[in-house]
Amino acid sequence: MDDDEPAEIPDTAPVMVLGGATLFPHSYMPLFLFEQRYRDMLSYCLERHRMFCIGHALPDIDTDLSEDPVHRISTIGLIRACVTHPDGTSHLMLSGLQRVEILGFEQHHPFRVATVLPLPSRVDDPDVAVEAALEVIDLSRKLCGEGKPMSNQLSDHLASVSDPAAIADVVSHAFLHDPGERQHLLETLDVSGRLRYLSDRLSLLLAKE
């Protein structure tokens, strides 16, 4: 698969269950896999479409025993790079591709495999979304630099992005650290709504400086 080609989302994909973890589209998550079930999952993925979902675990449950251990809205990611070590552990880089809804699990052991449905972002008014995206970029730049939440490199990358949905996801990944807020924005399909929420959060960060 060429990195520049849009990925075709499969009907089913493994789900890695992680507490407090949210992967956004257009962002990257480094992972270290050491549990046997996830070693098996990795082999499964590499033999097929190189994709799996990051499932944000629901609070106050035993994720190993629960039939539905994660929030239903997730992101499916593509394994961009993977290094497997002699002891069987692996370091990999997962690239977020697309929001998906987990419709149910068709396999629970040794790792979970879910039926997934892609969830496209919604833009009701493109002009409003572009204006909101420009405001978010402007606020982000004010929080850029040494000792600030955003690096100059990421700021330069953001300036080259024209899709408001991608801008919202990149900024969400960079600035939001609360798991609840991250999940909220992951579940917000309206792009303008995402960007308005981010503007409010970035304004609060600036007010604290």
How much is the pLDDT for 4?
47
Name the phi and psi angles at 143, rounded to 5.
-110, 25
Cβ(92)–Cβ(19) under 8 Å? Answer: no
How much is the pLDDT for 108?
94
How much is the pLDDT for 3?
45
Crossing angle of the two packed helices 191-208 and 164-175, in degrees rounded to 10: 40
Model pTM score: 0.90
What's the average model confidence in pLDDT over 166-182? 92
Specify the 3-state DSSP secondary structure of 46: helix
**CA nearest neighbour of 135 among 199, 189, 207, 190:** 199
pLDDT band at 174 (very low <50, low <70, confident <90, very high): confident
| Choice among 68-77, 116-125, 152-161, 181-190 with the minimum mean pLDDT | 152-161
How does pLDDT run across 41-55, given as a tens digit for each residue? Answer: 999 999 999 999 999
CA–CA gap between residue 16 and residue 37 (Å, rounded): 10
Running DSSP on this structure, what letter comes out for residue 4? T
Structure tokens at 132: 């909101």
66 or 192: which leads in pLDDT: 192
pLDDT band at 147 (very low <50, low <70, confident <90, very high): low
pLDDT band at 116 (very low <50, low <70, confident <90, very high): very high
Q: In the predicted model, what is the mean pLDDT of the chain?
A: 91
Q: What percentage of the chain exceeds 90 in pLDDT?
A: 75
How much is the pLDDT for 2?
43
pLDDT band at 1 (very low <50, low <70, confident <90, very high): very low
Q: 32 forms bridges with which residues in the sheet? A: 91
